[in-house]
């Protein structure tokens, strides 16, 4: 099932005002409802190697899984795509590739990447993340963070040492406790939720929330409303106007139309004959 025209989107990345190169990476397959955003880390240029491997591996593996699903749907009439499993398995594979590359290439030693990915299918979205790259949702004028950072600061918030408001003002936000490629295995946090027409989903690297308050992100989306490209560009501008201390990447997806999964050919034929 193609999602062309169902999801309006923009993808923007920028080096920022301080760094000399961009270690973020974005991959998109809007036709199958897939977006991947990675924020690399490591010495030399290894961060961009890790984020690039993550995005390419996940895009390739999920795309191939979707092709297989479409073939099965036509042949058997069943749309049984387990999107969360497909997404998780692709991320786990990406983790192994990054880890093996880091061990075999001295210049890549210690590299890793945080990641957030989304896969839209059948009026639902599967969201996967590792580290502090984030997903937000705007629905009915309520803007909320969907993912919780895998970071030392978030652990302290969870244990009651900080409030969320205090955490937003903290200067120690960037100590992540989970990342792709650092170990041979990684725990991927997966969640799935329904999608409604009019929803906005924002994926971003930590360069955005480190520089722009959530209230200002919400205001920017609300101000420009359906013009997602302008929203993306304005969020990058706000980040850089506030100092731009890190690379910043933004993916914004607006749900323009519902996208229920289509019944397979065999199911349609059976329906015609009442069996």
Domains of the chain by residue range: 7-270
SS3 of residue 215 by DSSP:
helix
Domain 7-270, CATH homologous superfamily name and number? PPM-type phosphatase domain (3.60.40.10)
102-153 pLDDT, tens digit each:
999 999 999 999 999 999 999 999 999 999 999 999 999 999 999 999 987 6
The model's pTM: 0.88
- Alpha-carbon distances of 237 from 12, 98, 208, rounded to whole Å: 11, 32, 10
Q: Which residue has the tokens 């690039």?
A: 52
**Closest residue by Cα to residue 127 from 208, 28, 38, 203:** 203
**Closest residue by Cα to residue 115 from 89, 150, 86:** 150
Contact call for residues 218 and 138 (beta carbons, < 8 A): yes
Terminal Cα-to-Cα distance of the chain (whole angstroms): 24
Contact call for residues 264 and 234 (beta carbons, < 8 A): no
What percent of the chain has a predicted confidence (pLDDT) above 70? 81
pLDDT confidence of residue 169: 57
How many CB atoms neighbour CB 85 within 10 A?
A: 12
pLDDT along the chain (275 residues), means of 10: 89 96 97 97 84 98 86 50 89 98 93 97 96 97 95 66 60 79 96 97 96 96 94 98 97 96 52 46
pLDDT confidence of residue 44: 59
Number of C-alpha atoms within 13 angstroms, CB side, residue 105?
Answer: 17
Rounded to 5 degrees, what are φ and ψ at 258?
-65, 155
Q: How many residues does the chain have?
A: 275
Contact call for residues 240 and 212 (beta carbons, < 8 A): no
């Amino acid at each position: 099932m193609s999602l062309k025209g169902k999801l309006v989107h923009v993808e923007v990345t920028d080096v920022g005002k301080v760094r000399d190169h961009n270690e973020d990476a974005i991959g998109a397959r809007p036709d199958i409802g897939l977006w991947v955003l990675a924020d690399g880390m490591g010495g030399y240029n290894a961060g961009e190697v890790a984020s690039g491997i993550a995005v390419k591996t996940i895009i390739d593996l999920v795309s191939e899984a979707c092709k297989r699903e479409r073939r099965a749907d036509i042949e058997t009439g069943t749309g049984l795509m387990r999107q969360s499993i497909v997404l998780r398995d692709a991320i786990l594979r990406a983790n192994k590739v990054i880890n093996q590359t880091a061990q075999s290439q001295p210049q890549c030693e210690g590299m890793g990447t945080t990641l957030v990915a989304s896969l839209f299918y059948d009026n639902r979205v599967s969201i996967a993340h590792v580290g502090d790259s984030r997903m937000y949702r705007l629905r009915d004028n309520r803007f909320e963070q969907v993912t919780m950072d895998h970071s030392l600061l978030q652990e302290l918030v969870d244990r009651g040492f900080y409030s969320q408001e205090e955490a937003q003002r903290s200067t120690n936000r960037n100590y992540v406790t989970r990342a792709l490629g650092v170990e041979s295995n990684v725990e991927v946090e997966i969640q799935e939720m329904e999608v409604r027409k009019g929803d906005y989903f924002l994926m971003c690297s930590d360069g955005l929330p480190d520089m722009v308050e959530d209230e200002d992100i919400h205001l920017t989306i609300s101000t420009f409303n359906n013009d997602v490209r302008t929203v993306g560009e304005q969020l990058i501008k706000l980040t850089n106007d506030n100092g731009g201390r890190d690379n910043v990447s933004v993916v914004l997806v607006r749900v323009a139309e519902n996208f229920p999964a289509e019944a397979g050919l065999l199911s349609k034929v059976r329906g015609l004959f009442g069996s």
